[in-house]
Amino acid sequence: MLSCRDFCDRLYDEDCRHAMAGRGPLPTDVSVHQQECAGCRLVWAQAAEDLATLPHLLLEPAPAALLADLRVSVIKGMELPPTLDWTAAITWAAIGAVLPALAAVAGPLPSWLAAMGPLSLSLVGASFAFAANAATGALREAIG
Amino acid sequence: MAGEAAGDPESERTRERELARSCAAGDVAAQHELVRRFSSLVWSLCLRAGLPDAEAQDVSQEVFWRVFQALPGFRGESRLSTWISTVALRRIVDHRRSRARRDVAVGAPSDPGFPLPAQPASSSPENDANLSQRRQRVRGALDRLAEPARSVLVAYYLGEMPVMAIARILRMPEGTVKTHLHRGRQTLRNHLRDLC
């Protein structure tokens, strides 16, 4: 048997949502509790009323400009440019630039790296970090 | 909330699968239909989650871009509206995180100068007067709700998303989602009581 607290939690489960919307049967545990608790019958009725009214009250017609843009995007094949977070990109590039310099201070670098010189090392480090950040972002977008 | 869902749930589900399949196959008419049916839902999710108009417009476009990219993977296990809402909520959360990183102050809907959402077109003035008043009350109450309570309410009632999906995207226990729903609903009811 459900307690009143459990009953209030059950209100938001999918089987109860379907029952409130008339898309499914009333779950047995909820039905049993309702028969014995007038307070929870009222709570159920209010939740059902909210479920019926709130979506309409929260819905906003999309502005014509957005619809027009979306239509154009559909025609062009939804070619939206991938977004790049420039703050993160610059931060990672800076980290990539500083790390080789720190590595050089911390200890001797292999001769082929040392031959590049500190400026080139920093540029290469920044480029790698920038590219890695962009690739991670693209991968995240692709996964969704 | 599906744009124009009608009829029995199973045939509606079949129609949605057909629509998704046609869109994924590159049928432009089907893609226009999908945009027409769900643009208000996506726009409303963005607005009600507290994004200002300009950002809501950008995020809405990105949501549809992601929807079209991911449509081949739609298997019809949930309603199309719920699936699109899940994509939208994920994008809204990502957008907020990215905005927080950029530390851009965008203000709150109650701030002076905050862009107001477009008003819905009236179909019958006498009937819509009350509806409009109720909408304003609900929006006012929603705007005063702190995050994540606002996103939870919007995802559950407008996006028709299950508690489990909301919990996963917003990274909180299901019990916390239910608590936000319960308290948020009471707040909205209190604001609407005077009008009933």
pLDDT in tens, B137-162: 888 888 888 888 999 999 999 999 99
pLDDT score for A75: 77
B1, B32, B35, best to mutate vs chain A, most A CBs in 10 Å: B35
In this predicted structure, the answer to whether residue B114 has a pLDDT above a threshold of 60 is no
pLDDT score for B105: 42
Is B116 in a helix, a strand, or coil? coil
Handedness of CA B1, B172, B185, A48 (dihedral sign): positive
Residue B77 DSSP one-character state = S
Chain B CB within 8 Å of residue A76 CB: no
Q: State chain B's mean pLDDT as an integer.
A: 81
A79 pLDDT tier (thresholds 50, 70, 90): low
Least confident of A49-53, A85-89, A93-97, A129-133: A85-89
Contact at CB, B154 and A12, closer than 8 angstroms? no
Distance between CA atoms of B53 and B59, rounded to whole angstroms? 10
Nearest CA distance, A125 vs chain B (angstrom): 23
User: How large is the average pLDDT for residues B116-143?
Assistant: 68
Handedness of CA B75, B77, B80, B86 (dihedral sign): negative
* B67-91 burial: b if 16+ Cβ within 10 Å, else e: bbbbbeebeeebbbbbbbbbbbbbb
Q: Cβ contacts (< 8 Å) between B154 and chain A: which residues?
A: 58
Are A91 and B101 in contact by the 8 Å Cβ rule? The answer is no
User: How large is the average pLDDT for residues A7-32?
Assistant: 93
In this predicted structure, the answer to whether residue A80 has a pLDDT above a threshold of 60 is no
Distance between CA atoms of A19 and B10, rounded to whole angstroms? 16
Total residues belonging to chain A: 144
Distance between CA atoms of A14 and B160, rounded to whole angstroms? 10
Q: Residues B91-113: pLDDT tens digits?
A: 999 888 877 655 444 444 344 43
pTM of the model: 0.69
Question: What share of chain A has pLDDT > 70, as a percent?
Answer: 90
